[in-house]
Structure 1
Amino acid sequence: MELTYAPELEAYRAEAAGWLHSQLSGSFAHLRGVSDHVTQIPERRAWEAALGQAGWSCVGWPAAFGGRDASIAEQVIFAEEYARAGGPERIGHIGVELAGPTLLAFGDADQKARLLPDIAAGRSIWCQGYSEPNAGSDLAAVRTRAWREGETYRIEGQKIWTSMGAIADWCFVLCRTEPGSVGPKGLSFLLVRMDQPGVTVRPIRQMTGESEFCEVFFDGAIAQADDRVGAEGDGWRVAMGLLAFERGVSTLGQQMRFRTELDEIIALAKANGAARDALIRQRLVTADTGLKVMRLHALRMLSGEPGALGPEALTYKLFWSNWRRDLGELAMAVGGREAELAVAGGGFSPLTHMFLMSRADTIYAGTNEIQRNLIAERGLGLPREARG
Structure 2
Amino acid sequence: MIQPAKIYLDYNATTPVRKEVLEKMLPYFTQNFANPHSDHAFGWDASEALERARKQVANLINSKTSEITFTSGATEAANLALLGFAKENRNKGKHIISCKTEHKAILETLNALENDGYEISYVEVNCDGIVDLKHFQSLLRPDTSMAVMMLANNETGVIQDITKISELAHQNGSVLMSDITQAVGKIDVDLKALGIDLAIFSSHKIYGPKGAGSLYSSSRIDLTRYMYGGNQENGIRPGTVNVPAIVGFGSAAELSKKELQETSEELLLLRNNFEEQLQGLENIQINARDQDRLPNTISFSVHNVEGDAFYRRMNRIAISRGSACTSNIIEASHVLTAMGFEKSLALATYRVSLGKTTTQQELNLAFENIQTAINSMRKTSLV
TM-score (norm 1): 0.24
TM-score, scaled relative to structure 2: 0.25
Structure 1 or 2: more helix by fraction: 1
